[in-house]
Amino acid sequence: MRRRSTILPLVLSAAVAAGALTGCAGSGGPAEGGAAATAQQDTAGALTEEEFVDELTAAMVEAGTVSFDVDGTHVVQTIAADSFAARLTDDTGEEFYVGDGAVYVAAGESMRGYVDGDWIKADPSDPNDPMTAYMGEEFAALATLRTTLDVRFVVQVADGAMTDFEVGDIEDHNGVEVRRYEVTMDLTGFKADTLGDPAAEDIPDVQTVTYLVDEDNLLHAALNPDDADVEYTWGGQDPVTLPTEDQLVDTEMLVAWLEFYGALNDIPTP
C-alpha cells in the first residue's frame, strides 16, 4: 500500500517533534537533590515548579485551538478537557487526521470505484481493527499518537520527571511578552512506560527543554539546543472536525480489496 511509506514516518516524526523531545540535549544524569527553582531577579508572578504542568495544561484547554509547524508538517489541533483532534498537512498537501484514538487517512484515487468513502479510519491500539491487522506492527506503533501528538504532552511529560526547574526573566518573543522556564527531565520512566515505538530510541534519557510562556500561561515555544524548536500559535483557526461516519471507507471491504489486488498483481501484503 503506497501510503505506508509516506504517512507513517510523517506521523511519527510530527508526534515526537511536537513534544520537542527528539534530539533535545541532556547534560549527564539527573541533577542531585531533585528539582529546585533557581531564584532570578524578576520572578514576580512566575509559576512555581508545583504549578507549572497544571497551569499550562489548563490554559491550553481554555484556548482551545493551536497550530504549529514541524518537519514540513503543519498541525492544527483542537483541545478539550478529555479529548483532542488534530489535522496534519505535509509539504505536498497530503492531509490526515488524528483523534478519538484513531488515525484518518485520505482514500487514494486508485481506490475510488472499488470502495465508497473518502477517509480510512484505523485504531492502531486495537489488534482486531481490520486496517491495523493488515498494516502490521509498524502501524500499531502509532497507538502512542493519542498521547504524544496532543500538545498537552509537551508539558505533561515533565510531570513527575523534573530534576531541575529554573525560572528566567521576562522577554519579548515575536511581539509577545513571555517568561522563560528551563526544565530538565529524567525521561527513562516515560520511555519505558509510554513509548513503545521506534521513536523512543531517538529520545535521550535526560533532556533540558526551555518553555516560553505568556502571562496567560500559554506556551509559545518549546526550545532545545539542537534547533528542533517548536513555535505555537493559539487561536485564529477553525476548530478541527474529524471525518464523520458517512465519509468513512468500509475497512473490512477495503482490506479484502487490497489483498485481492495484491494477490492479482503479485504484491506482498504488509
Q: Can you give the pLDDT at residue 71?
A: 76
Q: Can you give the pLDDT at residue 254?
A: 75
- Listed in sequence order, the DSSP H helices in 25-110 are 49-63
* Cell numbers standing for residue 124: 492502531
* Cell numbers standing for residue 175: 511581539
Positive/negative CA dihedral, 53, 206, 203, 68: positive
- Listed in sequence order, the DSSP H helices in the chain are 7-18, 49-63, 130-135, 137-140, 145-148, 153-156, 188-193, 251-264
Ranges of residues in the chain with a pLDDT under 50 are 1-40, 263-270
Instruction: Give the integer Cα–Cα distance in Å for 153 and 18.
Output: 8
Q: Can you give the pLDDT at residue 225?
A: 64
Q: Can you give the pLDDT at residue 51?
A: 95
* Side-by-side strand order, sheet with 230-231: 37-38, 162-173, 176-186, 206-214, 219-223, 230-231
Instruction: Give the integer Cα–Cα distance in Å for 243 and 248.
Output: 7
> Where are any strands of DSSP class E within the chain?
37-38, 65-70, 73-80, 83-89, 95-99, 102-106, 119-122, 162-173, 176-186, 206-214, 219-223, 230-231, 233-234
End-to-end CA distance of the chain: 8
The residue written with cell numbers 510530527 in the block is 14
Q: Can you give the pLDDT at residue 11?
A: 45
Quick: pLDDT tens for 67-81: 988 778 889 999 888
pTM: 0.75
- 119 CB neighbour count, 10 Å cutoff: 17
Q: Can you give the pLDDT at residue 145?
A: 67
C-alpha radius of gyration, the chain, whole number: 20
